[in-house]
């Protein structure tokens, strides 16, 4: 494994960092307080090519590799988790699934505008009564001669009210002996008749982002909008999570870094008992722990990104990276508040927002409990990952950067 960053990787880091720190950091507190997403975020991310960063040029993307996606997510979440959430759903959970499972026609029709950021994409898996237990979902897609008719409700959907397109998983075969085999995936244009959406307010974190619900009432979609084969919905959803979780892991690594940097700055300025608080060993211990968390989280996501680049299945490694980084980011943000004392408890400083944002990532894209079950399952030999009909393509620089 070679984790040395290339010039292109550094360029991505600088560009995304510049956007986040100069354009978003100054206004993020205001939008977090208002519980609104700033209007300029999505168009600006599109303009900078961030929304298609790791998609092939011929599909409208920037032709960078999967590590670039991780680096971008780290820089974005170092500013605010809501920026990284955009990448998780638009690229991780949706666009990469089109790249992996889509037909050429679907890639031309849906992936190209998504990669360019002309269309925004979301991912509808969770329902009011089905989160970790995906196969308990009750949304249905009934096949008629020339179309599917979708009914049901999706809940806790990031960008629900901002997206133009959703990747939706619904039940096509209620009689399947194993309910996992009765699910299928669909690309749904949000403008279709019968689709309605709304925002969820009062969230603990990711307040400057958009989280909502999508209801489907007799929504007709053509057969050619089905992604993959009928009955492949669960496998497709899990492969989406392999990519979404990677972005969450990389983002949480950025959150650890932000907590560490804020703590270092404050510990070097704040004085108590005649010296900077950074001189006290108990404060140093917290900083040292953040350093350890950051370095380990970074290596774990880079390994997952490297495996994606090579075309090696990485469900196990990505799950570990996501579980580790998100748990550690919560601890780092909590200790950053402790280092800031009472000031950390107010939104005068950034660290209280880091803590509120960090909690969400321990819940979405597999709760920490689900990742622990996965890791124990692999270790005990209860779980393995059989090859998929369509694997995420390995990164190939010539093919990715070829416009044709």
> Which residues sit at the interface with ligand FAD, rule CB under 6 A?
89, 122-126, 131-133, 156-158, 206, 211, 360, 363-365, 367, 369-370, 373
In angstroms, the CA 140 to CA 146 distance is: 16
Query: Taking the CA atoms of the chain, what radius of gyration do you get in angstroms?
Result: 21
**Among the residues of 88-189, which ranges form H helices?**
96-101, 104-106, 112-116
Measured CA to CA, the distance from residue 194 to residue 213 in angstroms comes to: 14
Distance in Å, CB of 320 to ligand FAD, minimum: 16
Q: Phi first, then psi: what are they for 158, rounded to 5°?
A: -65, 135
Paired tokens of 394: 């390995």
CB of 305 to ligand FAD, least distance (A): 21
In angstroms, what is the minimal distance from the CB of 326 to ligand FAD?
12
C-alpha closest to that of 70 among 84, 89, 86, 49:
84
Shortest distance, position 83 Cβ to ligand FAD, whole Å = 14
Q: Nearest approach, Cβ of 149 to ligand FAD (angstroms)? A: 21
User: What is the number of the residue whose Cβ is closest to ligand FAD?
Assistant: 131
Closest CA to 170 of 160, 179, 178: 179
Q: Which is nearer to ligand FAD, 88 or 293 (CB)?
A: 88
What's the CA dihedral at 229, 233, 236, 241 to 10 degrees?
170
Selected catalytic residue, list 348, 365, 369, 391: 365
Smaller CB distance to ligand FAD: residue 12 or 221?
Answer: 221
Residue 200 and residue 212 in contact, taking contact as beta carbons nearer than 8 Å: yes
Identify the CA nearest to 314 among candidates 100, 163, 126: 100
Contacts 24+ apart (CB under 8 A), 339-348: 339/263, 339/266, 339/267, 339/277, 339/283, 339/286, 339/287, 340/262, 340/263, 340/266, 340/270, 341/270, 343/266, 344/266, 347/29, 347/32, 347/33
CB count within 10 Å of CB 274 equals 6
The least distance separating ligand FAD from the CB of residue 124, rounded to whole angstroms, comes to 6
- The answer to whether residue 229 is catalytic is no
Catalytic residue ranges: 365
């Amino acid at each position: 494994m070679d984790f040395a960053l290339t010039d292109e990787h550094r360029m991505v880091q600088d560009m995304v960092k510049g956007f986040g720190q100069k354009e978003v950091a100054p206004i993020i507190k205001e939008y977090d307080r208002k519980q609104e997403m700033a209007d300029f975020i999505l168009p600006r991310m599109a303009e900078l090519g961030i929304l298609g960063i790791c998609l092939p040029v011929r599909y409208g993307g920037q032709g960078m590799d999967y590590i670039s996606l991780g680096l971008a997510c780290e820089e974005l979440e170092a500013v605010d988790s809501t920026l990284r959430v955009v990448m998780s759903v638009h690229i991780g959970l949706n666009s990469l699934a089109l790249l992996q499972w889509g037909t050429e026609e679907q890639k031309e029709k849906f992936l190209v505008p998504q990669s360019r950021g002309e269309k925004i994409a979301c991912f509808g898996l969770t329902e009011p009564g089905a989160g970790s237990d995906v196969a308990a979902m009750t949304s249905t897609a009934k096949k008629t001669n020339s179309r599917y008719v979708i009914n049901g409700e999706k809940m806790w959907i990031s960008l629900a009210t901002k997206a133009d397109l959703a990747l939706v998983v619904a039940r096509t075969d209620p009689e399947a002996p194993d309910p996992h085999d009765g699910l299928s995936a669909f690309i749904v244009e949000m403008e279709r008749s019968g689709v309605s959406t709304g925002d969820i307010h009062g969230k603990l974190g990711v307040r400057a982002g958009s989280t909502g619900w999508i209801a489907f009432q007799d929504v007709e979609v053509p057969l050619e909008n089905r992604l993959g084969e009928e009955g492949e919905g669960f496998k497709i959803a899990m492969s989406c999570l392999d990519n979404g979780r990677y972005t969450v892991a990389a983002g949480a690594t950025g959150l650890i870094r932000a907590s560490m940097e804020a703590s270092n700055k404050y510990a070097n300025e704040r004085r108590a008992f005649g010296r900077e608080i950074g001189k006290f060993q108990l404060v140093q211990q917290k900083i040292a722990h953040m350093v350890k968390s950051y370095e380990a989280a970074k290596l774990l996501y880079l390994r997952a990104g490297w495996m994606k680049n090579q075309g090696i299945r990485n469900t196990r490694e990505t799950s570990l990276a996501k579980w580790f980084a998100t748990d550690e980011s919560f601890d780092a943000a909590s200790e950053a508040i402790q280092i800031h004392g009472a000031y950390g408890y107010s939104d005068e400083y950034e660290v209280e927002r880091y803590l509120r944002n960090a909690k969400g990532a321990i819940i979405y894209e597999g709760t920490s409990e689900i990742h622990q079950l996965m890791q124990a399952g692999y270790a005990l030999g209860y779980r393995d990952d059989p090859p998929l009909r369509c694997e995420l393509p390995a990164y190939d620089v010539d093919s990715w950067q070829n416009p044709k």
